[in-house]
Amino acid sequence: MSVYLERYAWPDELFPEYQPSNNLSLTVVIPCFKESDLIGAIESLNACESPGGDVLIIVIVNESEEAPKSIREINQKTIDELKTYNSKFELLYSYQKLPSKKAGVGLARKIGMDEAVRLFHKVGNDNAIVCYDADCRCDSSYLKEIEKVYNDHQVNAGIVFYEHQLHGQNHKAIVDYELYLRYYIDALRFSGFPYAHQTLGSCITVRCSTYEKVGGMNTRKAGEDFYFLNKTIPHGGFVEINATTIRPSDRVSDRVPFGTGKAVNEIIHSDEEYSVYHPNIFEDLKLYFEKVESFWDEDEWKIPRTIRTFLGDDWQSQINELKSQVNSKEQFEKRFFHWFDAFKTLKFVHFCRDEFYQNVELEEALNWLRNKHFFLKGSKESLLIQLRYLDRQFH
């Protein structure tokens, strides 16, 4: 038994009698709450080309202990459908009533991923746990490409390339939202932030042993994906899995307090143009990150006023403290970005938005990004297609 399973995992073993295949290669975990078409998501997996090893799908149908009758009935219908569904790949499911204070996608995802760890340990395999959502679709190459990536044992975790489904009634809103997501990550890459990757929960993959090393999934009701990747990416061996695609839904949702569903709903009901973070924020970050090497080599530095204000009057002593903890420039750079990580960067972005640079309309931000990325003008959908192409080239 691993230390993680003994101390940190969800305490209840879900399938104690189940013996997984000795050739278990991928375990796909699907949290499912109040879903009308889980079977459609599973059928998309079943339409995939079979990888070399075996695939196991784990569905965690979940609700709060205080869930109203309407939600319980939807979940029970899902369970009834699963009971009679004939899956191409091995399929396990569990119906979980979660403590009201913690009920949400973070805990449901954690329960499924912890069970994946148990099952990998049963057969002594250290392969990939794959996050998937109950409203997603995927390319037929999805499972084979993920397995191919994890055949390289240097790979610890990875994010699958995504493209939101655009054929629904929320077409305009999801185009705006995905443009924002890509703008933010591409702007971070421009700034020189080394851990700039998309953080959608349905795109996460992680090796079993790495999942244990980082302490597993958190139990946040939203943003669990961002915080999980914030502690996972700096461990190294992180890759972009761009040779295949997962397709999250464009639907409106009240399932989480923020994220795609909520953002789409807000865009639909707003009379104003969608606004995003000001490009000046990323220009300042670039000036700051370009100084990292000089922080080690020199004793006095100049950084943007926004950064100085954000860090406070003792900002130089904070950097000197980091320098005192390491013995080389390479170690310092790694330590620096463990300190000024994705979460601290996001806090800085929000600080600048509130104190220095107000949000700008999405089109203005994209015009700035166009000058950095050298893509062509066009409609928003045309820009999204171009950004998808450019982002897929990133490794």
Share the mean pLDDT of the chain.
92
Closest alpha carbon to 156 in 202, 211, 230, 226: 211
Q: How far apart are CA 189 and CA 132, in angstroms?
A: 26
DSSP H/E element including 163: none
- Burial group, residue 305, by CB count within 10 angstroms (0-12, 13-18, 19+): exposed
CB atoms within 10 A of CB 62: 24
- Burial group, residue 371, by CB count within 10 angstroms (0-12, 13-18, 19+): exposed
Q: How far apart are CA 135 and CA 115, in angstroms?
A: 21
Q: What is the pLDDT of residues 86-112, one digit of tens each?
A: 999 999 999 999 999 999 999 999 999
Angle at CA of residue 85, ends 79 and 88, nearest 5°: 130
pLDDT of residue 258: 45
Q: What is the pLDDT of residues 117-136, one digit of tens each?
A: 999 999 999 999 999 999 99
List, for the chain, all residue ranges whose pLDDT scores fall below the cut of 50: 252, 255-258, 268
Residue 191 has φ and ψ, to the nearest 5°, of -70, -20
Domains and CATH numbers, the chain: 3-273 (3.90.550.10), 279-355 (no CATH)
Q: What is the pLDDT of residues 154-183, one digit of tens each?
A: 999 999 999 998 876 677 889 999 999 999
State pTM to two decimals.
0.93
